């Protein structure tokens, strides 16, 4: 999913969307997609209850590697509505989209 498509989806159907940041808590604190929830990819298997199965889940990290691993974990646990944010966090920031900090 492109950053622009994510923004459009967030504005039109925010209740159908769950944005999942699978980076470290430190990376998340440095700035993340507004509204994203942080569950590090290496903790995801033990924190599945935090990720809703009834929403479109959009995953991202820094390079795509951790998001891919996280998507595999979710798919293996029955999640079917998965998307990957194209270009991950660097592309989001480079396009000048809002970055949220705690």
Task: List active site positions.
Answer: 61
In the numeric block, which tokens belong to residue 35?
A: 């509204």
Neighbours of 27 (CB within 10 A): 17
Going by C-alpha positions, the residue among 51, 46, 45, 41 that lies closest to residue 18 is 51
In the numeric block, which tokens belong to residue 19?
A: 């944005």
């Amino acid at each position: 999913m492109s950053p622009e498509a994510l923004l459009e989806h967030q504005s039109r159907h925010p209740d159908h969307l769950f944005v999942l940041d699978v980076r470290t808590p430190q990376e998340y604190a440095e700035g993340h997609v507004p509204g994203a929830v942080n569950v590090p990819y290496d903790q995801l298997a033990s924190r599945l209850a935090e990720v809703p199965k009834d929403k479109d889940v959009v995953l991202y990290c820094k390079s795509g590697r951790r998001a891919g691993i996280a998507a595999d974990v979710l798919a293996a646990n029955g999640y079917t509505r998965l998307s990957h944010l194209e270009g991950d966090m660097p592309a989001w920031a480079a396009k000048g989209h809002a970055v949220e900090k705690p």
